Amino acid sequence: MSRNLLILGAAPDLNELRDTLVRLEDTIIFALIERSQFKHNKGIYDAGKMKFKDGHQGSFLSWFLKEVECVHAKVRRYQSPDEYPFTGNLPDPVLPPLNYPPVLVDPAKININDEIFNVYVNTVVPEITEKGDDTNYGSSATRDIECLQALSRRIHYGKFVAESKFQDPEHHAEYVRLIREQNSQRLMQLLTNSRVEEKLLKRLKAKAMIYGQDLSSATLDADGCTINGASALLADASTTAAEERVKTRVDYDLVVSLYRDYVIPLTKEVEVEYLLHRLDSNQK
């Protein structure tokens, strides 16, 4: 069983963080698969398309997101240091607060959910869904919110990654120097591990190929195990032959490009911004 990294009272090491980030990959892939079963339903993203009795002027998704976050705020979701709301002016919790040990030094209260929202609505949704309108507005928006929350949590975990790297004795002095210089370009270079990123993308592609399979037509033996289809894919999910054989419910290349072009860069954006403010409170 994995440890709760939020109650450690100290920055978790990178191996512990990677375990959490790997599990979030699963959450994001399955959330995308669930959203892809509905058509684009573009109208739920257009401001003014629907009328609201409470006078809301935005889109159906923005209205629904606010309603959901109001409920979640009441049960103290956003008191957790790894959760960030997309909307503001949320109600106070009805539950007593939890005392999380201070791990992050985040005087700027970094939150890039506006960027995440725009990327998701304008780039991700049109790519993973079929064009058209199937009137499943509530179901589509529900899945959208699940995707947004998972992406936000994954990307803002960059703060914990940055803190862990900052505390690494091997590089701590260099991080302090670069922060004092406000050298964001050099910080980005120091944070980047291309080998880890390449490994992540390969793992993500294999997962998306496997998780996204439709096994309804697979041949099963007496024990319910696949005789063809999935078993072959599991054996060589990363090979070209496997890619040619399998048709998945969500395009695995789109999942990879989502991470390569948005999740990884936005995570590193959070890491750099966090470090630029890391010494604002004169804490070393």
Which residues are designated catalytic?
Answer: 18, 154, 165, 193, 197, 267, 271
Give the whole-angstrom CA distance, residue 188 versus residue 43.
38
> How far apart, in Å, are the Cα atoms of 184 and each of 24, 270, 276?
27, 11, 7
Q: What are phi and psi of 39, to 5 degrees?
A: -70, 175
Give the whole-angstrom CA distance, residue 196 versus residue 267.
14
Residue 113 has which token pair? 């959910």
How many Cβ atoms sit within 10 Å of the Cβ of residue 268? 19
Give the whole-angstrom CA distance, residue 165 versus residue 12.
10
Beta bridge partners of residue 226, listed in sequence order: 220
Q: How many residues belong to the chain?
A: 284
Q: Nearest 5 degrees, angle CA 167-CA 172-CA 173?
A: 155
Please, are residues 44 and 60 in contact by the beta-carbon 8 Å criterion? yes
Q: Which of 160, 194, 62, 177 is nearest to 118 (CA)?
A: 62
Sign of CA dihedral 23, 25, 31, 36: negative
How many Cβ atoms sit within 10 Å of the Cβ of residue 143? 21
Give the whole-angstrom CA distance, residue 266 versus residue 158.
9
Please, are residues 153 and 113 in contact by the beta-carbon 8 Å criterion? no
Residue 112 has which token pair? 């890039």
